């Protein structure tokens, strides 16, 4: 198994893409530490997955993050993988966007990635090994109407990914940092879109279908495993060719 006995923290791991990544990792031998604010979702996921350890953690709560990361490192003796997946949207056009909705998305999607990674990075640098995978979006590369806040955060995640790939190897550490930029993935988030919007998106794709959470989980598995041992600081688009 590609991740045999690896310890992986995954944020937003109770449903959607985060759950599918957790499932794929467990199937490949990892022990998954799931961070989420959805306690009921965590319980349901634990009932379906082995080696799934749920923790109710808000990615904007630095104190709770630090306490939990220290507890995990003490219990398992290491942290091999971090997947920053937790994210939200509050979409509307720029001139109608409320400041609190801008701040809400930035705090979770950008600051949350910063806070969790900062805490886990201390462990990884000390053990001189680790693997960080950030879930960005093609919106962070191409932009999208009505998503000023979301686009800003996902572009910021790409910037942090490249910065951390440099920082986390400064002293000879083997810590890789990469990002995945999904396109239109079939989740509860895209289920809210009108059918004509989905059809218009599919018509722009080379591969004529919406992506699945499993498409993302397979890419995450590749980046988390030794199959990608010489890859760092990269952004992999998983978008069916919509941005070509």
192 is in an annotated binding site: no
CA dihedral 204, 177, 84, 14 (to 10 degrees): 90
125 is in an annotated binding site: no
71 is in an annotated binding site: no
Task: Kindly give, in sequence order, each residue whose CB lies less than 8 Å from that of residue 52, ignoring residues fewer than 6 positions away.
Answer: 22, 26, 32, 34, 45, 46
14 is in an annotated binding site: yes
Q: Quick check: helix, strand or coil at residue 66?
A: helix
- Determine the Cα–Cα distance for residues 129 and 125; give it in Å rounded to an integer: 7
185 is in an annotated binding site: yes
171 is in an annotated binding site: no
12 is in an annotated binding site: yes
Catalytic residue, candidates 19, 52, 55, 150: 150
> What element of type H or E holds 197?
helix 195-204
Could you confirm whether 52 is annotated as catalytic? no
Cβ neighbours of 25 (radius 10 Å) = 29
Answer whether 165's CB lies under 8 Å from 120's CB.
Answer: no
Alpha-carbon distance values, 12 to 37, 129, 227, 243 (Å): 8, 23, 25, 26
Task: Kindly give, in sequence order, each residue whose CB lies less than 8 Å from that of residue 201, ignoring residues fewer than 6 positions away.
Answer: 184, 210, 242
140 is in an annotated binding site: no
| Alpha-carbon radius of gyration of the chain | 17
85 is in an annotated binding site: yes
62 is in an annotated binding site: no
- Max intra-chain CA distance, the chain: 51
22 is in an annotated binding site: no
Positions at the binding site for NADP(+) = 12-15, 85, 150-154, 185
* Residue stretches of the annotated binding site: 12-15, 85, 150-154, 185
Give catalytic residues, as residue numbers: 150
């Amino acid at each position: 198994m590609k991740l045999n006995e690896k310890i992986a923290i995954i944020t937003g791991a109770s449903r959607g893409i985060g759950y599918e990544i957790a499932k794929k990792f467990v199937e490949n031998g990892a022990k998954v530490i799931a961070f989420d604010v959805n306690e009921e979702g965590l319980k349901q996921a634990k009932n379906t997955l082995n080696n799934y350890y749920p923790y109710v953690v808000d990615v904007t709560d630095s104190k709770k993050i630090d306490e939990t990361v220290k507890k995990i490192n003490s219990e398992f003796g290491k942290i091999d993988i971090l997947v920053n997946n937790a994210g939200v949207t509050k979409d509307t056009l720029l001139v109608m966007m409320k400041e609190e909705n801008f701040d809400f998305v930035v705090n979770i999607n950008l600051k949350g990635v910063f806070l969790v990674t900062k805490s886990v990075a201390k462990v990884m640098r000390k053990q001189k090994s680790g693997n960080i995978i950030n879930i960005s979006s093609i919106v962070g590369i191409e932009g999208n109407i009505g998503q000023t806040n979301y686009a800003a955060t996902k572009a910021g995640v790409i910037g942090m990914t490249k910065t951390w790939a440099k920082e986390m190897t400064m002293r000879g550490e083997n810590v890789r940092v990469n990002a995945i930029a999904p396109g239109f993935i079939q989740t509860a988030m895209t289920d809210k879109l009108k059918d004509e919007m989905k059809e218009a998106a599919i018509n722009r794709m080379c591969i004529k279908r919406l992506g699945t959470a499993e498409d993302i989980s397979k890419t995450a598995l590749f980046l988390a495993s030794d199959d990608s041992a010489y890859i760092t600081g990269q952004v992999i688009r998983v978008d069916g060719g919509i941005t070509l």
